[in-house]
Amino acid sequence: MATNQQSKSRFPYFNRELSWLAFNRRVLEQAESNEYPLLERMKYLAFVSSNLDEFFEIRVAGLMQQVKSGVIERGPDGLGPKEQIRRIQNIVRRLVADQYRCWEKQVMPGLKAANVIFSDFDGLTRNEKKWVEQYFDEQVFPVLTPLAIDPAHPFPQLTNKALYILTSIDDPETRIIERLMAIIPVPRVLPRIVKIEAARRGNPEVYIFLSDIIQRYVKRLFPGYRVRSAVPFRITRNSDLYFDEEEVENLLKKVEEELMNVQKGAAVRLEISKGADPILVQELLEALDLKPQNTFTVDGPINLFRLMSAYDLIDRSDLKFPAFTPFISRELSSPERIFDIIRQKDILLHHPFDSFQPFIDFINQAARDPDVFAIKQTLYRTSGDSPIIEALIEASRRGKQVAVLVEIKARFDEANNIQWARQLEDVGVHVVYGLVGLKTHCKACMVVRQEQGNLRRYVHLGTGNYNPKTAKLYTDLSYFTAKTEISAEVAGLFNTLTGFALTPTFKKLLVAPFTLHKGIQRYIRAEARNARAGLPARIIVQTNSLVDQETIDNLYHASQAGVKIDLIVRGICNLVPNVKGISENIRVRSILGRYLEHSRIFYFENGDSPQPHIFAGSADWMPRNFYRRIEAVFPVEEPELRQRVQSILRNYLEDNKNAHLLRANGAYYKPPRKKTASSHSAQQTFMHDADKRRQSQAGELIEKQEPQ
């Protein structure tokens, strides 16, 4: 915990970057847990690497840029960029060492016992070595291009996160050890993990990393020379996009140009396997303008994110989570009735426990229904073979008015979204890129349908992206309604995004950057007033990140007023809980399990009113979500839906299996379980409930079909 000496606030705050690293440590703990199947543990190891990549590309890169420019920005925690970088590097070294130790000492041996073997070359049988040699000669050697580094061959431009082999060679005919440097780029078309198709007693599946194969036969690329060392490495570059939208005439073209520049961004990290020639490593650092402290030496294969491809390669259901089928109610199983059902009542779905298929049916039916005149939708991230894109294209071809807000600045999805934007434009869809200076992050879809001579709007709002694949992996809420007071405001939201509106009016929705931040502060302060007046006061928040200082300060004030506050924060949390006199009424928990917790739900007790204020939407409690993004948060008002959300939150607060509680010193710990208490996992409870609903529905169907 650190206190900002320059801040006017007397409150304590955690550092954002160090809090994020604590989250990634909890991801690693999933890989270390014996409660998960082995291949799922392997996948968590891959997530740790993927998370670190993005962290260095954006957050560490930004800190390094601050240091280089001399602009020192301190957050509310008081840490400057140099100190943050120093602490980050120390924490990451320990984290990565533990990650590789988990792979080498826990996951690999466990997989081997299950007849799935990851081996280096020396551990292969004679037949397997012959197979690997043939594979190298036929599949690898023809596409490798060694690059000599000398006065006649300048240092090459190394691509962000690509795999390279740093090779030290010398002429055996001379007495001098030259230490000539050569770099071998490994083409992305080559699989990083290779399954060896050679028989072994017991018929195990045997895999080897591509880098091990190249290291073994690298001397064939330098005939006549002695190879002293050959070590895989990769660099991470600053991958943030920098441009002034107000000075850009064509945003699409500018983003494309910046994506090309990202591959040339400043280097921020060097990852290299042990055994490299230290002199060549120093030369490499100088060429990359990096210091030794930016080097991370690993004892094992570079980039464990490559294990994700092995997860798909290995067809062993016994080593993965048991298959789960999301629930879909009978009434939502008939796509042709989707509009009738929504017109009759609001619908709330909890993914992935409830199927995402009803939304796919909703958009497909809108595309085909002759009574539908218009479709408007936001797209922040979607899947590569998205049925949603196909439906929007079909709707446009059928002559419907289709407008799509494509966020082409969605980090790391820029290229995909540009592709979708062009495909949609080619069939006449009105594609808009949102408002200047703001990312369109809200999840909204509106269908306009003619019914009995009048136009009726049908709306979907959600907490997650319109991505059928992540809808099976992330927990999110989906809300369907035809209520005029909500649908009219969603229509106003779309008009704001596609046209001009300086001060749009929203009474039901909380919309950033217009009303969301003020609205959240108003509800927090109202709970504090209720507590001081002796009325019931409670706040429950589920979010991915809690960073905004004013919001944190108001939560501190509410705690001091006696409001009981439970925060379910998956990732970054700058608020310090359990500090006497400041936050002793605040508990913070993080839940990591089979599914990625992604819902944003906000609960305010509302005094002695029988109707608490409950909201859900797309926004985390961060400055970027409050001020630099278009976000939409919707009220949950129907009694049945409100009860369901309260049940969801109650299950999370009762979780004693996947939850970690945050201490005032920044450490997370597993909550102690009472001897009389049974193990409770919120996610498992939701899955069990979905199974029960499915069985009950099937039983009802059988009863109806049986003759009387």
Residues acting as catalytic residues? 441
Q: Which helix (H) or strand (E) holds 126?
A: helix 126-135
Question: 121 CB contacts (<8 Å, ≥6 apart)?
Answer: 129, 132, 208, 212, 213, 215, 216
**What count of other Cβ atoms lies within 10 Å of the Cβ of residue 423?**
15
Contact 467, 476 (CB under 8 A): no
**DSSP state for residue 123 in the 8-state scheme:** G
Q: Using CA atoms in the order 353, 354, 360, 365, what is the torsion angle rounded to 10 degrees?
A: 170
The structure tokens listed for 703 are 């009863």
d(CA 182, CA 185): 10
d(CA 347, CA 330): 13
- Please list the residues that pair with 512 across neighbouring strands: 631
Phi-psi region of 43 (alpha: psi -120 to 50; beta: other; left: phi over 0): alpha
Distance, first Cα to last Cα, the chain: 70
Q: Which of 508, 510, 528, 529 is nearest to 519 (CA)?
A: 510
Contact 572, 503 (CB under 8 A): no
Would you list the DSSP string of 230-241?
EEEEEEEE----
d(CA 374, CA 459): 12
Which amino acid belongs to residue 170?
D
Judge residue 318's burial from the number of C-beta atoms within 10 Å of its C-beta, 0-12 exposed, 13-18 middle, 19 or more buried: exposed
Contact 184, 165 (CB under 8 A): yes
**What count of other Cβ atoms lies within 10 Å of the Cβ of residue 613?**
18
Question: 647 CB contacts (<8 Å, ≥6 apart)?
Answer: none
User: Which residue bears the tokens 């082995």?
Assistant: 38
Contact 555, 565 (CB under 8 A): yes
- DSSP H stretches of helix in 263-356: 278-288, 307-313, 338-344
Query: HEC profile for 586-623?
Result: EEEEEECCCCEECCCEEEECCCCCCCCEEEEECCCECH
State how far the alpha carbon of 543 is from the alpha carbons of 46, 426, 476, 568, in Å: 24, 38, 11, 6
Phi-psi region of 202 (alpha: psi -120 to 50; beta: other; left: phi over 0): left
d(CA 621, CA 567): 11
**DSSP state for residue 655 in the 8-state scheme:** -
